[in-house]
Structure 1
């Protein structure tokens, strides 16, 4: 989808009736698939952004001529060395004696030319490649740039890209695994990566693929990624039982032993020319790490990947006290994982039983001098934490920006973002990360980035930008520093289970419903303070949302495409206020059930219902903006994952909100009351990926 923006810049003393824009590309670039694809794509995009302008080669009447470099034949084999070609580039614009403008690109590889072309479009000409299915195309009548300028760009990391966490039923899970459906959506996504200066793509392979047909699909995915300058990788497990993950071996399978199974699996997998393969050696979260228990098999797996010409990577996890890390072979890379909207360096990150995630930062610092080390943070967690509630958390861009700067200083080789869905504003985090992964200089001065610098490129006006900065400040203060985020999230699936199954995943509220029922007077008083903070957050966000809306009317009323995009984000912010109101009322209802009568409980639950219905109206409006079919992302039905619904199914009916009301009404606070999760299937105990099929 192309969104046309009317917010075009003024001319800089060039012919206002511009008719021709020249693009001079030497044959060496046209012969290289990566640069040839980028050149053709750039031509199409310029034609759309400059209606009526003809794109030509060396034309005497071209008002602007874009001159691309001759890179010769030097194009190293990325797969053989896992060393990506030179990527930095520089644009220099100048006026010629005849008054026309020449913009010359300095770059040393086809890949750098591709990055340079898209960098010119997005960073200078105002194209916005913000979503795989949506692009904002400016509508220019005149050339908008000054005749003289320089623009330099260098990547902060040699490898940059995204891991689509297809263990979750997200937008492209089916497209990547269905052997018979069109690959158009996957190609769309790879194009988005290339347009945003990314060069790495990975997803988690699932177990129930058609093993006869899927290798052909894999070859096409890899081929297309390579044609766009993108390294293609896949994550598999050694023998993970959870969530339908692809398994390299079945632990109790006969007649083939584990080593033979690894060889058979890798022979099958490498029917496609993968650049790298990441191995998950854990049986599951909070389950044993087979890489540590079976080091010979681990070495066999990693060396098998390497001898087939790909880079092996070892996946890590943030779980507190887990014995997942056991010194893989020296030629194996490592992915340093952190979770949710917490950075690797902040002082408090109460996830997976940790106080913080600084041990992962320490691991990155330790490993990066010795092996290929990539940082692997999340831009959404899903489950019951963020976009599934839904919560639009500006805390994600803030944490990811903080991490990018910290990991660049460590000298890490790569940054690959763990992505779990794009709706409810989560496209903003992925888009921001992609642009922050480059460092720019304009006319010799560094271009300063910050947590909202990418959002600000679609927000005209300093006042509007300041209001959104206030929004991120309020979320940081109330949700992180004052500890309200666990209340706005729903409880994770294990939180209501009994020992030893109640392992910590997401941050948990100080006063969950179950504790409130048996709370002392002192505890009730403290819980009341949290309820007051929830109401305070809601009031401040509601007030701020009104100011943002009024300012947007002033700034964006003449630009419908940006207004629509801005409203999507604003509704995401507003629903966090309603969520805080709802949680305050359900907590108050629980306390009323302890200290007052049923009438008071019903009163607060009726008010909670009113809040939920107000939030549901927002959901229905935002669903109209979803970029993929509603039935896919928010409907029910079996798919390749362990979840019989799309990732936004809980949002469609505000499942978690309604469940909490019913929990209070029925006084049922166990995991099996109005349960969304099929625990047996998720754990691999039932279904197509049952334990029997996992082991034998």
Structure 2
């Protein structure tokens, strides 16, 4: 259950056949235990999950290819990953959809739809729910947006693109608000749009998840903060004023836990407001999933390719805190692939999300995680 490409199958389960009973008779503290594959980064599954193959450009870098065989070559890796998710007791998988321009001819083509339907169907075969991340209008790294026009666009365009996503067979649509991570849109219009969207998806039996970004210094004027009614709410938490069916996804970044000090990252000194908002949402029984980064690929932890299990330790602490302060919250891990020690941290957070054991320490977490390796696992732990 550790590395995706080289799975270790314990002796006791090598003769088990079938997939459906994998978690039969088991229970977890977290109803939602998902993984977000951040395919806006050049990750191992970025091509196949976007319905394209991988070719090599003149500079040696991977380039998208519409060739059928090139795309199909990525499916075995996807199957290995799905096996890994189930082995690590995850029950949902999400990724970011990309496009190279809404008029590129491929973005909403029948070819791409067919390929993505196959990708989604394979996840469903493993008993996993599927979500696709598509921002409303947020412009970032070739994101496939629900309103691709710079001016925002019409509901007819947005509903057409929602229909296209739903036709893939997804169980949830995940989205992001604002024009960028650091600039916001009109609060009243944003709330109205979220309300229309969640009702539209609910009629199709789908959920809407909205990411609550970590940025600061942008507020929704006229909407009091539930943490301090004398101040306007952080725009990222405008979901508090939306239809209660909207699922909020509070987001943290880098290796910091909810209780760690920050050195100014994203204008922050701590995450105390995020934890406080999660307490409020939990108390009011509003749906939410905690959305922490368990690797920060962009110029933070990839420039020093060594393995220090800081992320695993932070996830364990966070989940223990949330078991006490926001026990209804689900967990959606943000991962950036399997390079360096990322894959170990990914497996560790999955175990922590399953147990939320208040007595577990980083040492006991790794002891349990590496137990399938026998004596070698004990030494590594």
Structure holding more helix per residue: 1
The aligned residue for residue 223 of structure 2 is: none
Compared CA separation, residues 277 and 190, structure 1 to 2 (3 A): same
- Of 244, 256, 260 in structure 2, the residue corresponding to residue 346 of structure 1 is 260
Q: CA deviation at 1:245?
A: 0.8
**Rounded Cα–Cα distance in structure 2 between residues aligned with 1:389 and 1:284:** 28
Is residue 348–residue 356 contact of structure 1 (8 Å, CA) maintained in 2?
yes
Compared CA separation, residues 218 and 439, structure 1 to 2 (3 A): same
The aligned residue for residue 80 of structure 2 is: 188
SS in 2 for 1:438: helix
Q: CA deviation at 1:459?
A: 6.6
**Rounded Cα–Cα distance in structure 1 between residues aligned with 2:93 and 2:348:** 17
Q: CA deviation at 1:347?
A: 4.1
Q: CA deviation at 1:457?
A: 4.5
Deviation sequence 1:449-500 (CA, Å, 0-9, x none): 222334334778xxxxxxxxxxxxxxxxxxxxxxxxxxxxxxxxxxxxxxxx
The aligned residue for residue 218 of structure 1 is: 116
The aligned residue for residue 433 of structure 1 is: 349
- Of 355, 376, 393 in structure 1, the residue corresponding to residue 291 of structure 2 is 376
- Of 402, 405, 414 in structure 1, the residue corresponding to residue 330 of structure 2 is 414
- Of 8, 17, 22 in structure 2, the residue corresponding to residue 114 of structure 1 is 22
Compared CA separation, residues 350 and 257, structure 1 to 2 (3 A): closer
The aligned residue for residue 455 of structure 1 is: 366
Q: After the TM superposition, which residues 286-297 of structure 1 pair with which residues of structure 2 at under 5 Å, given as runs?
A: 286-289=182-185, 293-297=189-193
**Rounded Cα–Cα distance in structure 2 between residues aligned with 1:458 and 1:433:** 10
**Rounded Cα–Cα distance in structure 1 between residues aligned with 2:8 and 2:171:** 37
Compared CA separation, residues 382 and 4, structure 1 to 2 (3 A): closer
The aligned residue for residue 248 of structure 2 is: 334
SS in 2 for 1:375: strand
SS in 1 for 2:86: helix
Compared CA separation, residues 252 and 381, structure 1 to 2 (3 A): closer
Q: CA deviation at 1:257?
A: 5.0
Matching of residue 355 in structure 1 with residue 269 in structure 2: yes
The aligned residue for residue 520 of structure 1 is: none
SS in 2 for 1:365: helix
SS in 2 for 1:237: coil
Is residue 253–residue 296 contact of structure 2 (8 Å, CA) maintained in 1?
yes
Deviation sequence 1:306-358 (CA, Å, 0-9, x none): 22210011111111223222122111111011111111123446320111011
Is residue 40–residue 98 contact of structure 2 (8 Å, CA) maintained in 1?
yes
**Rounded Cα–Cα distance in structure 1 between residues aligned with 2:78 and 2:124:** 13
**Rounded Cα–Cα distance in structure 2 between residues aligned with 1:230 and 1:358:** 32
The aligned residue for residue 589 of structure 1 is: none
Compared CA separation, residues 299 and 186, structure 1 to 2 (3 A): same
The aligned residue for residue 475 of structure 1 is: none
Matching of residue 285 in structure 1 with residue 254 in structure 2: no
Q: After the TM superposition, which residues 633-652 of structure 1 pair with which residues of structure 2 at under 5 Å, given as runs?
A: none
Matching of residue 174 in structure 1 with residue 47 in structure 2: yes
Q: CA deviation at 1:426?
A: 1.2
Is residue 314–residue 328 contact of structure 1 (8 Å, CA) maintained in 2?
no
The aligned residue for residue 55 of structure 2 is: none
The aligned residue for residue 238 of structure 1 is: 136
The aligned residue for residue 385 of structure 1 is: 300
Compared CA separation, residues 447 and 291, structure 1 to 2 (3 A): closer
Matched pairs, number: 330
Q: CA deviation at 1:290?
A: 5.3
Q: After the TM superposition, which residues 203-214 of structure 1 pair with which residues of structure 2 at under 5 Å, given as runs?
A: 203-208=95-100, 210-212=107-109, 213-214=111-112
Give the TM-score normalised by the residue count of structure 2: 0.77
The aligned residue for residue 267 of structure 1 is: 163
Give the TM-score normalised by the residue count of structure 1: 0.44
Q: After the TM superposition, which residues 35-54 of structure 1 pair with which residues of structure 2 at under 5 Å, given as runs?
A: 42=13, 45-46=14-15
For structure 1, the 5+ residue unaligned runs are 9-20, 22-41, 48-54, 56-67, 69-109, 117-151, 441-445, 461-554, 570-696
Q: CA deviation at 1:46?
A: 3.2
**Rounded Cα–Cα distance in structure 1 between residues aligned with 2:188 and 2:27:** 38
For structure 2, the 5+ residue unaligned runs are 53-67, 101-105, 219-234
Is residue 211–residue 250 contact of structure 2 (8 Å, CA) maintained in 1?
yes
RMSD between superposed Cα atoms in Å? 3.2
Compared CA separation, residues 187 and 2, structure 1 to 2 (3 A): closer
Q: CA deviation at 1:421?
A: 2.1
Matching of residue 396 in structure 1 with residue 294 in structure 2: no
The aligned residue for residue 146 of structure 2 is: 248
Compared CA separation, residues 313 and 388, structure 1 to 2 (3 A): same
Q: After the TM superposition, which residues 560-579 of structure 1 pair with which residues of structure 2 at under 5 Å, given as runs?
A: none
**Rounded Cα–Cα distance in structure 1 between residues aligned with 2:146 and 2:214:** 23
**Rounded Cα–Cα distance in structure 2 between residues aligned with 1:390 and 1:227:** 35
**Rounded Cα–Cα distance in structure 1 between residues aligned with 2:128 and 2:197:** 24
Is residue 397–residue 452 contact of structure 1 (8 Å, CA) maintained in 2?
no
Matching of residue 365 in structure 1 with residue 279 in structure 2: yes
Is residue 336–residue 373 contact of structure 1 (8 Å, CA) maintained in 2?
yes
**Rounded Cα–Cα distance in structure 2 between residues aligned with 1:193 and 1:431:** 9
